[in-house]
Structure 1
Amino acid sequence: MEMLRMNFSSALLFYEFNFKTYYQTLNKIMLLNPRLILIGMAFAISANSNNALAQSTTTLTLDSFVQTKGSWSEVRDAWTDPIHNQLLFSEGKGNVLINTPTKKNPGKDIVSLENFGDIELSLTYMLAAGSNSGIYIQGQYEIQLFDSWKTITPKAGDNGGIYQRWDDLKPEGQKGFQGYAPRQNVSKAPGIWQTLEVSFQAPRFSESGGKTQNARFNFIKLNGVVIHEDVELFGPTRGALKANEVAEGPIRIQGDHGPIAIQSLEIQQMNFPAPKISSIKYQVYPGAYTQYPAIENLENGHSGDLNSFEEFQTGVSGASLTKFEGNIRILETGSYTFEVEVPRGLGALQLGGDSGQPEFKQGKIKVEKTLSPGEIPYVLWVSKPRDWTAQGFFWSASAEGLWPVKFSEPVISFENSTDPIWVNADETPVLRSFIQLPNREKISHAVSVSGKSGIHFSYDLSTNQLIQVWRGAFLDATPMWNNRGNGVSLPLGVVTTLNMGESLLFSQDFTPIDKELKSSGYRVLGDGELIFDSKSETGTMLSDHLKLMDNGQGIVRNMDLKGSGQAHLIKVSAGKQLRKISSNLYLIADTGVYLQVLSEGVSPQASKVDSEDGIFLPITSKLSYAILF
């Protein structure tokens, strides 16, 4: 197993198993993501590490590719002005790859020297305004990298799209076919780092060379949101390196269309050998058990041998406890994670000769163990303490470089599976609900607003703060309305959190000021446009006018503060990395938004207090600015 990495920050991709019925629910929801977890790591694992389990890694520099002369270079940082030009700017020397083609130097595609088969890939990249690039998996299947900042309905040629195949022999208008558009546009503005995560299964071939199985994208995530899932590829996309498909091929990055910067590219090869159940014996004990029983007191039911867990039938109409035991064949030393779950029941798992009484548990049981090659004994307990209408339980194994292997799964779905409830923005463009913050706190008096330009925002009536903005679909109200509900609605696109319900007004030394501004309601003026009114008992009044921009770039905020008579600061966004792009445009790099100051003579500043993170603007009476995202 190898990892291909380009970056000054390292990360490994682990794919955590989701059970079949849970996936069925997610497929209905469409945009909820497979549980792909990006785990940050400080340093790469050395190929010469003394750790016996460490797998070799390959860190690629630009020299690891071919055709890198001309427009490609390595820099420390990159940025752009998304409004006024279509160039990428850079500074310093570092590990960020940048491609800046010009008419005199049109640029070339770069192709990795190493070939790959099954992989999970993570790419962090930046585009300039109007830029067009792409990444070819195996040099054959292109995922489009395109400036789709203001697109409402994406096509196959938009950011994250699976580019179409091509046949010159077909009639005009039909030459391109089998392209796949993203489910929604969750692109970010030019000059903001974006992430692409890909799970790819290579095509399979017989010994004679004939293709036996098509290539497949298990999923593609753009900026943390699933935009493709389980897409079968019937052949190479347009512009592939070869006309025929291959078992292994290079990573190719398009370089002759437009500027692109790459902060990181990580590839986890999914070639770790899977463990296998080599033997299964079972013994059924009738009765209801919620904890480990006294073995000598158990009443025997029936027993036998199985070739697979699919063959198992208890033969008992009521509650039962079943003991499975046998061996798991391990082919390569590694750190394995085994997960068991018994729907509406309890389970316990012992591996490798573990002794003692296992703890019976409801819900997911996770056992992590380092195993060497050989036959590893297991004992699995499955307790169903009440009458059942169907058989089955979940059991899976996973490891780094190994897609989850399912040993067993039930024939019924979870009882709490439910169809999603999405808010139709055309019918309900403004919705009151709770908002769940990233720190798990809830905002109880929130308003979420949709715009026809495909962007949205949430506002906290308690603090008069702009809480979050996002691009894509509107709201999932399943938690709010399903069953008894908990009042929470969830944004469906790529979300940027600006505030966590902090106070609106701050003093010049960044100390929060409580003016006791209480909401007196809001007025809907039009599509994505509202005025939020509030006042205090001392006579201070705030008229807060927010409008989503028709061109889809972001949101404009016009604030009118009366009766205060003092100079204050307001917190515009979280973050401390502030870069001036043009006369009134600033990039808040660590939050991933632009701040455009519309009031003359006003400049933003980052907090100078360690305990207060944020970007602030001064206000005495009136203030206007825009957040572009």
Structure 2
Amino acid sequence: MFSKTKILWACLAIGLPICTVSAQTTQLRLADFSNNKGSWSEVGDAWANPLGAQQIQSSGQGTILVNQPAKKKPGMDLVSNEKFGDAEVTLVYMMAPGSNSGLYLQGQYEIQLLDSWTTTDPKAGDNGGIYERWDESKPDGQKGYQGYAPRQNATKAPGTWQELKVLFKAPKFSASGEKIANARIESVVLNGVLIHEDVELFGPTRGALPGGEVAEGPIRIQGDHGPVAIQSLTVKPMDTPAPTFSAINYEVYPGSFEEMPSASSLTAANKGTISDFDEFSTGLTQESLAKLETKVSIKKAGNYTFLMSVPNGLGSLQIGTGGAATLQRGIKVEKQLEAGEYPVTIWVSKPRDWTTEGFSLSVEGDTMWSTEYSNPAGSFEGWPTDPILVDTEQDPVLRSFIEVPDAKKISHGISVSSPFGTSYSYDLNSNELIRVWRGGFLDATPMWNSRGNGVSRPLGAVTELSKGEELFYNASYAPLADDLKSKGYEILGPGALEFKAVNESGTEFKDRIQVIDSGKGIERSISYSAFPAGTLVKVAPGQELVEMGDGLYWVKDSGLFLSVGEKVKPVAQNGAIYLPASSTVTYRLLF
């Protein structure tokens, strides 16, 4: 087992690094994998037309891996020479239209890679699914079993870079080689969406490498089912042992404390020693303040984060000789620690006789699993609320506040679903399309739980389009303020709305948006006769356009595909994509 983060084709943008490889990482090239000939090559750029043939185009020399099987170059699986145990695996990949591949953890457990672009009911064999196990001795229709479908289809269009992040725990074996714990998928996140959580793997999936389950095994990329490109594959070993705490000495002081007192003013009501934080009890039914002293043993040098919270009370946490962190209810202490022992002092209050006794304490590290050491007795305020998800059959269109990154909350937002799992949000004030996404519709927990704050949040793989800025711009790309006043909207059908507004002169503005082609994207048609000469309409963020032919453009940095008439020429300027305005502006966004 290695102790450093390994980077397999790490940190690439298209032809340029997207992050700096530190001295603690190792970069592997194609030569570091077996079966690396034939259909595999390293290129500087890769792209695919989502509406075209099952192929990936490429150019130049670089560190993007491309698999392009052909009759004279049959597809081959890649198998890493390095072997891994517990790990965080992050893959950035591109599928060709209709293509198929797979990421095998330890060569045994497959996470499916597939063009599942418009799938509405994903199965274990769809993109991000944990593939089935297989038993040839069973009757037809029963041979496949123990596969796990993703919670929702967070797949993006073929030809778009997608990110798959897997937290994996390897199976464990006794000294005699007997398996004593199954492998587990702690989580799988596809394009920012959690699609699996806490899945036990009872054995290898179909097509696993021979030899069976192992404590450490290679990463394998399926290469015989179709074209795929890999921008980066990083494997970070989760091999740092969790810290341990020695015997804990405690003292308990009666009284209700709203701030930390002087230690010299306190008289202990009782004291003792325990071996575990969860053994702690104040011995008092009324209000109290407790002091706990122990030592934490760090097994491996690194950056550690200590998280502590006290339900309804006051807490203080000191690690080592530095100052104590004292906060009402929540404490976070980050420390760069060498291997060794460090003194720990914890203060925790029970401010009312009816409040929960105890506290929560956990530790996280860059290459260690988050570990809990203490939890309060019973429930306490702050436990998560069951999510309140919007039923699209009951509420296919929902008005709400909309939060956007690094900008003011949108107060007059509306979100629209479709039967295809494709959704969008619109700002009635700015007449701007705010975001599009694929997957689940909305989480309305912030809006409807308790008093609520009016906010709903998208559930799927989101592409942000606007923060509610102006829709119209002049030839110098300066925003043009308009005097449009919203007149509401009309529902035209599933996923289709027409938004209406008028200017001070009474000229009507119509903005029709509808989900298209089994959910491949949206079509927008803006009708307005009062555009000043030279007006531009901003349609999406982006800095680089790649022309694909037939009026289709790839917006490289956002992953969108923009489809316009062949005579219309979009422009990328100042981090955005613009179209020339006429009495009617029509375009499609595929994602």
TM bin (shorter chain): over 0.9
- The secondary structure found in structure 2 opposite 1:407 is strand
- The secondary structure found in structure 2 opposite 1:463 is coil
CA contact (8 A) 2:56 2:68 kept: yes
2:162 equivalent to 1:194: yes
Residue 139 of structure 1 aligns to which amino acid in structure 2? G
How far did residue 278 of structure 1 move? 1.3
How far did residue 108 of structure 1 move? 0.3
How far did residue 533 of structure 1 move? 0.9
Closer/same/farther in 2, CA of residues 346 and 375 from structure 1, 3 Å limit:
same
CA contact (8 A) 2:311 2:355 kept: no
2:512 equivalent to 1:512: no
How far did residue 606 of structure 1 move? 0.9
Closer/same/farther in 2, CA of residues 142 and 261 from structure 1, 3 Å limit:
same
Match of 1:3 in 2: 5
Match of 2:218 among 243, 247, 250: 250
Moved more, 262-271 or 400-409: 400-409
Match of 1:364 in 2: 330
The whole-number CA distance in structure 1 between the counterparts of 2:319 and 2:532 is 71
Offset from partner CA, 1:481-510 (integer Å, 9 cap, x none): 112211111001011011111111111111
The whole-number CA distance in structure 1 between the counterparts of 2:40 and 2:378 is 54
Match of 1:150 among 112, 118, 124: 118
Match of 2:406 among 411, 434, 439: 439
How far did residue 348 of structure 1 move? 0.9
2:300 equivalent to 1:332: yes
- The secondary structure found in structure 2 opposite 1:69 is coil
Match of 2:454 among 455, 480, 487: 487
2:509 equivalent to 1:547: no
2:137 equivalent to 1:169: yes
Match of 2:583 in 1: 621
Percentage identity across paired residues of the two chains? 52
How far did residue 550 of structure 1 move? 4.1
TM-score (norm: length of structure 1): 0.90
How far did residue 359 of structure 1 move? 5.1
Residue 234 of structure 1 aligns to which amino acid in structure 2? F
Match of 2:20 in 1: 43
CA contact (8 A) 1:6 1:263 kept: no
Offset from partner CA, 1:243-270 (integer Å, 9 cap, x none): 5211110000000001111111111101
2:338 equivalent to 1:376: no
TM-score (norm: length of structure 2): 0.96
CA contact (8 A) 1:290 1:360 kept: no
2:492 equivalent to 1:525: yes
The whole-number CA distance in structure 1 between the counterparts of 2:264 and 2:482 is 71
- The secondary structure found in structure 2 opposite 1:305 is strand
Match of 1:412 among 368, 374, 378: 378
CA contact (8 A) 2:96 2:115 kept: yes
- The secondary structure found in structure 2 opposite 1:441 is coil
The whole-number CA distance in structure 2 between the counterparts of 1:549 and 1:520 is 25
CA contact (8 A) 2:306 2:363 kept: yes
How far did residue 530 of structure 1 move? 0.9
CA contact (8 A) 1:4 1:265 kept: no
- Give matches, 1:258-407, under 5 Å: 258-354=226-322, 358=324, 360-407=326-373
How far did residue 370 of structure 1 move? 2.6
Residue 368 of structure 2 aligns to which amino acid in structure 1? L
The whole-number CA distance in structure 1 between the counterparts of 2:80 and 2:566 is 49
CA contact (8 A) 1:519 1:535 kept: yes
Closer/same/farther in 2, CA of residues 276 and 622 from structure 1, 3 Å limit:
same
Match of 1:584 among 544, 551, 557: 551
The whole-number CA distance in structure 1 between the counterparts of 2:369 and 2:219 is 21
The whole-number CA distance in structure 1 between the counterparts of 2:110 and 2:307 is 35
Match of 1:203 in 2: 171
The whole-number CA distance in structure 2 between the counterparts of 1:596 and 1:187 is 20
CA contact (8 A) 1:279 1:328 kept: no
Residue 627 of structure 1 aligns to which amino acid in structure 2? L
Offset from partner CA, 1:45-96 (integer Å, 9 cap, x none): 21xxxxxxxxx42211001101100110111110011102111001111111
Residue 624 of structure 1 aligns to which amino acid in structure 2? T
Residue 100 of structure 2 aligns to which amino acid in structure 1? N
The whole-number CA distance in structure 1 between the counterparts of 2:329 and 2:49 is 50
Match of 2:48 among 52, 56, 80: 80
The whole-number CA distance in structure 1 between the counterparts of 2:163 and 2:532 is 45
How far did residue 10 of structure 1 move? 7.5
The whole-number CA distance in structure 1 between the counterparts of 2:476 and 2:6 is 46
The whole-number CA distance in structure 1 between the counterparts of 2:566 and 2:92 is 35
CA contact (8 A) 1:567 1:620 kept: no
- Give matches, 1:35-74, under 5 Å: 42-46=19-23, 56-74=24-42
* Moved segments of 4+, more than 6 Å: none
- The secondary structure found in structure 2 opposite 1:431 is strand
The whole-number CA distance in structure 1 between the counterparts of 2:290 and 2:212 is 51
Residue 457 of structure 1 aligns to which amino acid in structure 2? Y
The whole-number CA distance in structure 1 between the counterparts of 2:285 and 2:380 is 21
CA contact (8 A) 1:139 1:249 kept: yes
Moved more, 306-315 or 140-149: 306-315
Residue 339 of structure 2 aligns to which amino acid in structure 1? P
> What RMSD in Å do the two structures reach over aligned CA positions?
1.6
- The secondary structure found in structure 2 opposite 1:102 is coil
Match of 1:30 in 2: none
Which ranges of structure 1 fall in alignment gaps of 5 or more residues?
12-39, 47-55
The whole-number CA distance in structure 1 between the counterparts of 2:295 and 2:530 is 77
- The secondary structure found in structure 2 opposite 1:150 is coil
Residue 351 of structure 2 aligns to which amino acid in structure 1? P
Residue 4 of structure 2 aligns to which amino acid in structure 1? E
CA contact (8 A) 1:539 1:563 kept: no
Residue 151 of structure 1 aligns to which amino acid in structure 2? T
Moved more, 400-409 or 132-141: 400-409
CA contact (8 A) 1:453 1:551 kept: yes
How far did residue 600 of structure 1 move? 5.0
The whole-number CA distance in structure 1 between the counterparts of 2:205 and 2:250 is 50
How far did residue 304 of structure 1 move? 0.4
CA contact (8 A) 2:312 2:355 kept: no
Match of 2:470 among 503, 506, 512: 503
The whole-number CA distance in structure 2 between the counterparts of 1:447 and 1:103 is 51
How far did residue 363 of structure 1 move? 3.2
Match of 1:17 in 2: none
Which ranges of structure 2 fall in alignment gaps of 5 or more residues?
none
The whole-number CA distance in structure 1 between the counterparts of 2:112 and 2:19 is 30
CA contact (8 A) 1:292 1:359 kept: no
The whole-number CA distance in structure 2 between the counterparts of 1:584 and 1:363 is 56
The whole-number CA distance in structure 1 between the counterparts of 2:589 and 2:305 is 43
CA contact (8 A) 2:401 2:412 kept: yes
Residue 161 of structure 2 aligns to which amino acid in structure 1? W
Size of the aligned set, in residue pairs, is 585
Match of 2:188 among 204, 220, 226: 220
- The secondary structure found in structure 2 opposite 1:512 is coil
How far did residue 332 of structure 1 move? 2.2
2:104 equivalent to 1:136: yes
2:201 equivalent to 1:233: yes
The whole-number CA distance in structure 2 between the counterparts of 1:10 and 1:93 is 13
Moved more, 534-543 or 212-221: 534-543
The whole-number CA distance in structure 2 between the counterparts of 1:388 and 1:2 is 49
The whole-number CA distance in structure 1 between the counterparts of 2:553 and 2:340 is 59
